[in-house]
């Protein structure tokens, strides 16, 4: 088929006309008309939505412990808290009667002439149980005035520590010696307090430890005296009858054990220790 130049020209003109009309329709759909603009102008403006309140990044929930000055470094906070928790047992043993009880029990074992009976684990366990028995009122006071309000979010961690310090402070003041307190007040260059409640824990804790050790050594020395007499009597008898090859300890140890059991020694020793604190 052969197309004439007129037919080709007619087809091109129709294509140009239809393309222009399609372009005009697309622009009309994309641009708002005057009526549409008037309708949008008369439409009431929607109230602006309030911006959401900013949530503080360092919000502290009730019962949560945060270390001030370390930011949000949770790993460092956990490391410091775990380090502090490992020191708590040593600190508690230094502000309780545990040191005195353990020293007395070791002196008693040496006075009886026994090396490993009772074992160290047994003596430490007995001292811990007696310590818990003596410190139960102090612990109950700390739980009621410090721990429970802190868990409920009513007080901060700093106030909780301050409240927990008061019962322990009052307990140590009852058994510390004035001479030991004067020593550490002089070493720390602090002003001499007019009231025992004004003593700082920096002065009170080391003075209390020294006082407890001194009292434990005094009780241990008293416990040694009756058993020392038994050793001297047995040694003099064995020497007088010529038993030089038999060590006196072999005979004196059963005699001391028999004497200790007959007088109900554990009841007397522990009863005397407990009555000093009650």
Q: Count of residues for the chain?
A: 278
Q: Cite the DSSP H helix spans in 112-200.
A: 120-142, 148-151, 157-175, 178-188
Residue 15 corresponds to which tokens in the numbers above? 């294509």
pLDDT in tens, 161-171: 888 888 888 88
d(CA 136, CA 124): 18
Q: Is 117 helix (H, G, I), strand (E, B) or coil?
A: coil
Range of the domain at 185: 74-219
pTM of the model: 0.65
Provide the number of structural domains found in the chain. Answer: 1
pLDDT in tens, 38-75: 444 455 444 444 444 443 444 445 545 554 444 455 67
Residue 184 located in a structural domain: yes
Residue 25 corresponds to which tokens in the numbers above? 């329709």
Residue 57 located in a structural domain: no
- Angle (CA) 44-46-48 rounded to 5° is 145
Residue 41 located in a structural domain: no
Residue 109 located in a structural domain: yes
d(CA 88, CA 92): 6
Residue 238 located in a structural domain: no
Residue 239 located in a structural domain: no
pLDDT at site 74: 67
Question: Does residue 26 register a pLDDT over 70?
Answer: no
Residue 100 located in a structural domain: yes
The per-residue pLDDT of the chain, averaged, comes to 74
Are 212 and 100 contacting, i.e. CB atoms less than 8 angstroms apart?
A: yes
Residue 135 located in a structural domain: yes
Q: How far is CA 59 from CA 55, 64, 77, 153, in A?
A: 8, 10, 16, 13
pLDDT at site 154: 82
């Amino acid at each position: 088929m052969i197309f004439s130049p007129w037919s080709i020209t007619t087809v091109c003109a129709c294509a140009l006309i239809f393309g222009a009309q399609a372009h005009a329709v697309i622009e009309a759909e994309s641009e708002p008309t005057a009526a549409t603009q008037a309708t949008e102008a008369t439409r009431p403006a929607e109230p602006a939505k309030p911006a959401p309140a900013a949530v503080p990044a360092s919000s502290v929930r009730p019962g949560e412990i945060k270390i001030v000055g370390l930011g949000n470094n949770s790993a460092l906070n956990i490391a410091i808290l775990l380090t502090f928790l490992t020191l708590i047992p040593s600190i508690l043993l230094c502000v309780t009667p545990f040191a005195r009880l353990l020293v007395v029990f070791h002196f008693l074992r040496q006075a009886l002439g026994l090396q490993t009976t009772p074992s160290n684990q047994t003596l430490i366990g007995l001292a811990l149980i007696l310590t818990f028995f003596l410190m139960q009122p102090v612990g109950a006071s700390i739980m009621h005035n410090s721990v429970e309000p802190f868990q409920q979010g009513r007080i901060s961690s700093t106030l909780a520590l301050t409240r927990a310090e008061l019962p322990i402070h009052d307990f140590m003041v009852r058994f510390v010696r004035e001479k030991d307190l004067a020593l550490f007040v002089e070493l720390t260059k602090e002003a001499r307090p007019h009231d025992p409640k004004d003593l700082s824990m920096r002065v009170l804790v080391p003075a209390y430890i020294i006082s407890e050790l001194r009292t434990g050594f005094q009780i241990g020395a008293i416990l040694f005296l009756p058993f020392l007499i038994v050793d001297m009597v047995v040694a003099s008898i064995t020497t007088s009858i010529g038993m030089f090859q038999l060590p006196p300890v072999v005979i004196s140890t059963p005699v001391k054990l028999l004497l200790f059991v007959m007088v109900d020694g554990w009841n007397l020793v522990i009863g005397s220790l407990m009555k000093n604190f009650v």
